[in-house]
Structure 1
């Protein structure tokens, strides 16, 4: 395992994605238990993506009092069937929300008739329960949540908004095996904004895999600017990026 730092962002590099997931779970569990020494409960935001699978596999086995944690997720497609396996709420229910007993689980409703009202509802929840810990990934186009480069706003006045998804983002969903072809990928989604994510006291970002190599390189080498949304992580006071041999392959380590 190697470590490095870019601006404020700490980076941990592992040989395999399993090693990455195991180490990330250890860090997150330690952070939870430390916070629960002084807080009655904490609030956590989770990302729904195959890149998080190894982390989920290990975190649910940790000795953590989940009954003192309010769970949130960071984005959801608009218009999928309620039981669609590609739905991010359904993905998280399968991987973690049904495996441990949270204090509350707060889903974004992608089937809401009034999307602006749904954004406001979820934004109110996030204001009432500001995040202590954010567990996230980075997209192939450097998006965080569904903040693709063309809609990312580092000074967004909103915490949740409706966005259109760019072609690179929708193609990634096919590459990840979530949809059989791009025509099946929804064009719109609800997402937590960049400021909503950065409000997290601690951020743990898990990014394994060869398809993420260019995104990792851009995250660590480009200027911190909205065209590369993930670069904002380098300005956060307590964030760790976990990468593996594949996703770090374009870096000079």
Structure 2
């Protein structure tokens, strides 16, 4: 991972709906640009309620040849049934993958052997570069399921199994994905930080006042694993979309557009 840092382009919108529209416009423009210069495009998506406004607006974008787009996702729980509605692959299929005619969708199928799953998914990812990653930031600063205790900015793996931090698991309850903390799986499969940063372009969408401290830390704290989202500042082409609530702890000079 590069050691230098840069300032992501930070765009603040009045609310989640406006954020979704703005982010979808930007992602769609990146996809059209990539499709103009190459036969196929590979995109990885985060699964979370904060991503829903962007995905809904992106599905309605015109002029994208979805048949030439291959989709991946960033992480998946271990221990849930294949059709469990809480699974990220199921959520993404319902929310986005089934709404556009994608050329291919590669879901993380965890199965009985998580380590084999991680290796297989890494092999799929290694077949060609990722052009775009759409992601968010967790309340503990995580990227995908790279929580502070397991994040490694120099991780040799592309995909790995992890133990989920309790703060991360609590977020899943607070987001309404699970009824109780006991229902939330303790383990997951995730793309690693270096694998996320290897994509050509990053688009990060964050909504809600409950994310304001994580956003502030991501953009202002020293770059390092205690706040995994600080790694975004080492990427050459990262755009962060925030609603006003998520941006409320930032000083004005951090916002470079909006």
The structural deviation recorded for 1:105 is 0.2
TM-score (normalised: structure 1): 0.96
Quote the residue 2:89 is aligned against.
89
Q: Give CA deviations for 1:30-88 in whole Å, capped at 9, x if unaligned.
A: 00000111110010000000000100110000121110001000000001011111100
RMSD: 0.9
The answer to whether the 8 Å contact 2:78/2:188 transfers is: yes
Quote the residue 2:69 is aligned against.
69
Whole-angstrom distance in 2 between the partners of 1:77 and 1:180:
16
Q: Secondary structure at the match of 1:247?
A: coil
The structural deviation recorded for 1:252 is 2.4
Asked if 1:167 is matched to 2:160, the reply is no
The structural deviation recorded for 1:7 is 2.8
4+ runs of 1 displaced by more than 4 Å?
A: none
Quote the residue 2:157 is aligned against.
158
The answer to whether the 8 Å contact 1:10/1:239 transfers is: yes
The structural deviation recorded for 1:210 is 1.1
Whole-angstrom distance in 1 between the partners of 2:122 and 2:169:
25
Whole-angstrom distance in 2 between the partners of 1:152 and 1:130:
22
Whole-angstrom distance in 1 between the partners of 2:220 and 2:85:
35
List runs of 5+ in structure 2 lacking aligned partners. Answer: 253-258
Quote the residue 2:114 is aligned against.
115
Whole-angstrom distance in 2 between the partners of 1:222 and 1:152:
16
The answer to whether the 8 Å contact 1:146/1:191 transfers is: yes
The answer to whether the 8 Å contact 2:12/2:244 transfers is: yes
Whole-angstrom distance in 2 between the partners of 1:189 and 1:129:
24
TM-score (normalised: structure 2): 0.94
Aligned residues: 247
Whole-angstrom distance in 2 between the partners of 1:79 and 1:109:
11
The answer to whether the 8 Å contact 2:6/2:235 transfers is: no
Quote the residue 1:3 is aligned against.
none
Whole-angstrom distance in 2 between the partners of 1:106 and 1:7:
31
List runs of 5+ in structure 1 lacking aligned partners. Answer: 1-5
Quote the residue 1:105 is aligned against.
105
Give matches, 1:144-223, under 5 Å: 144-223=143-222
Whole-angstrom distance in 2 between the partners of 1:242 and 1:68:
26
The answer to whether the 8 Å contact 1:84/1:90 transfers is: yes
Whole-angstrom distance in 2 between the partners of 1:119 and 1:221:
32
Q: Secondary structure at the match of 2:196?
A: helix
Asked if 1:233 is matched to 2:232, the reply is yes
The answer to whether the 8 Å contact 2:44/2:134 transfers is: yes
The answer to whether the 8 Å contact 2:142/2:227 transfers is: yes
The answer to whether the 8 Å contact 1:77/1:87 transfers is: yes
Whole-angstrom distance in 2 between the partners of 1:29 and 1:165:
32
